[in-house]
Amino acid sequence: MAALCAALLLLKPMAAMSEADSGSGKPASMASLKKKNASLMRKLESLDPKGTYLVVDTASNVLKLHKSGKLSREARISAGSGNVLDDPSGDRQWVFDTPRGEFHIRSKQTDPVWIKPDWAFIEEGQAPPAGMKERYEEGVLGDYAMGFGNGFFIHGTLYTRLIGFNVTHGCIRVGDDDLKEIFAATPIGAKLFIF
């Protein structure tokens, strides 16, 4: 019996010593590890995006609308073409990628009017106009637009046959039916994740 107890004492501490808790040097009990695990899981879950948010996958050109943690709608989209335009004056270069990371919806507009930036003129071989009036173009952004910063929008398009291909200058183009639903469901401030 004494020999058995000695054997038991020898085996258990050797296993425990290899799992010393960081910091204290004492082995962590299963109960404390499980408690810590539950606490960490709760903390991680509390960081989940809340409410309505959008996810754009530029590899497969898909936008997903999530509401209250559930997938509500999935839409084919067009993301940036990745093409490069150099300003002939040599000062500027534009790379037409859709930006990646975390954003939020900053503005919402119905019947948006496109205010053409300089690259839109340069691309056509024209000099950018001095005045603002020459820059307005109606009807090309569809029925709705949602801005997410730095001049980038989720908007509609006349070129619906091109949806699913990377053809934009960085904005995200969505088909009419999908855009109507997404626009109605997405409040200002909603998170947008693009990768």
Q: Which residues bind other proteins (CB under 8 A)?
A: 1, 4, 7-8, 11-12, 15-16, 18-19, 21, 28, 30, 33-34, 36-37, 40-41, 43-45, 47-49, 55, 57-60, 81-86, 88, 95, 100-102, 122-126, 162, 165-167, 193-195
Question: Minimal distance in Å, beta carbon 137 to other proteins?
Answer: 18
Of 71 and 184, the one with the shorter C-beta distance to other proteins is 71
CA atoms within a 13 Å half-sphere pointing along the CA-CB vector of 63? 27
**C-beta closer to other proteins: residue 140 or 167:** 167
Q: Where are the alpha helices (DSSP H) in the chain?
A: 2-17, 30-46, 118-123, 176-185
CB 142, min distance to other proteins, A: 20
CB of 19 to other proteins, least distance (A): 5
Q: Pinpoint the alpha helices (H) of 53-156.
A: 118-123
Contacts 24+ apart (CB under 8 A), 149-154: 149/103, 149/106, 150/99, 151/117, 152/98, 152/99, 153/112, 154/54, 154/63, 154/179, 154/182, 154/192
Nearest distance, CB of residue 130 and other proteins, angstroms: 19
